Amino acid sequence: MHSIAQRLEVLKEAGLRRELMIPDGIDLSSNDVLGLAGDPVIAQAVCAALEKGLPTGSTGSRLLSGHDDHWTSLEQLFAAWQRRQASLFFSSGYAANIGLLAGLIEPGDVVLSDELNHASIIDALRLSKGRVEIVPHNDLEAYQRALEDAPAGAWIVVESVFSMDGDCAPLEALARLAKSHHARLIIDEAHSTGLYGQTGAGRCSELPAGFAPFASLHPCGKALGLSGAFVCADRQTIDLLVNKARSFIYSTAPTPMLAPALTAAVQKIQDLGSLRTRPLDLAEQLRTRIGSRFDVGTSQSQIVPIILGSVERTQQVSTKLAAKGWCLRALRPPTVPPGTSRLRIVLRADLSDAQFEKLVEDLLDVA
């Protein structure tokens, strides 16, 4: 057995020891793509609710003392935005994936999971005790073969926009495969909600009528600028989660202040118009202008990876960009596979044209 000190030293020698650091410079590691984390309208909504007597603490789990009308109203608002029957709010995206997947998937169920799914999905599937089959990334033929061998009622779990590579799952094709094989599709919309669709509801909202997923998950710490997460599904599924999702049942309810904040954020996103698409437009420009000098993978979204390979090189480039005024943290294993260490640029709506030009210039300079 290795001591704690020895384990930390191993991480340090491999360049993999992490430390907590306050962001310094223009932060393009942040997922606050629409700049709502510091939005004054959202702050005013919270202040107004507190002045009317909204408590700061929830006092207990939702099934005990922590439930109130503000949660019901918020969940109804979010479900209506997503055009689903119901939604349920969790304290975080991680907790939502744990509660959703471990709560719904039963031991022995077959689950097809994309090989690049987020760690919260991986951990949730382990807890579910389902029979998990890892499918090569976005490989529709592999999904087809796996579904042909699986019993009816199999599950498919994917991210809508993959968090490290910034590419998109073929949602419509997967939805059609699921329907034709009587499978159940679950989509994590973490990096899609707020940016895609006519009202910013996410990529699920763009699916044809009749092809909605069995359930979708919408974390609020990205484009919504806050925290927590919603699971959207039909009424019966949400009712089952209230009874089966352990990360919901056995957690103190989030602070009630999130309810007015999220209400304001959802309403504001629907009114942003072209500002919602600015991160996507800037990302497309960035890929075009630096793609010949850097490996940007298969990015299709606001997330543009610069895949540098080694841990050492990635840290060096991160340090050079920090000296030029950019906060771009090095992503290393186990967050990404060995040999694919990278910088992960998240384009933001509040990045000015002048700042964008400087970003391009500085990236080409360190290349």
Residues whose CB falls within 8 Å of the CB of residue 260, separated by 6 or more in sequence, listed in order: 45, 46, 48, 49, 54, 70
Catalytic site residue from 92, 109, 120, 222? 222
pLDDT of residue 13: 86
pLDDT at 236: 98
Catalytic residue among 87, 118, 165, 218: 118
Determine the Cα–Cα distance for residues 319 and 296; give it in Å rounded to an integer: 19
Identify whether 118 is a catalytic site residue.
Answer: yes
- List the catalytic residue out of 58, 91, 163, 318: 163
Structure tokens at 271: 């009114």
What is residue 325's predicted lDDT score, i.e. its pLDDT?
96
Report the candidate in 132, 100, 137, 133 with the shortest Cα–Cα distance to residue 117.
Answer: 137
**Domain parsing of the chain, residue ranges:** 20-34+274-366, 54-270
247 is catalytic: no
Mean pLDDT, contiguous 10-residue spans, the chain (367 residues): 88 86 90 96 97 96 95 98 98 98 96 97 95 98 97 96 97 98 98 96 96 98 98 98 98 96 97 92 98 96 96 95 95 93 97 97 93
Task: Give the DSSP H or E segment for 159.
Answer: strand 155-159
Q: Is 191 a catalytic residue?
A: yes
User: Are residues 49 and 250 in contact, defined by beta-carbon separation less than 8 angstroms?
Assistant: no
- Candidates 3.20.20.70, 3.90.1150.10, 3.40.50.150, 3.10.150.10; CATH matching 20-34+274-366: 3.90.1150.10
List the catalytic residue out of 114, 159, 167, 189.
Answer: 159
Report the C-alpha gap between 17 and 330 in whole angstroms. 12
* 340 contacts 116 by C-beta, under 8 angstroms: no
Q: Is 188 one of the catalytic residues? A: yes
Contacts of 327 (CB under 8 A, 6+ apart): 23, 24, 25, 26, 27, 28, 29
Topology at the third CATH level for domain 54-270:
Aspartate Aminotransferase; domain 2 (3.40.640)
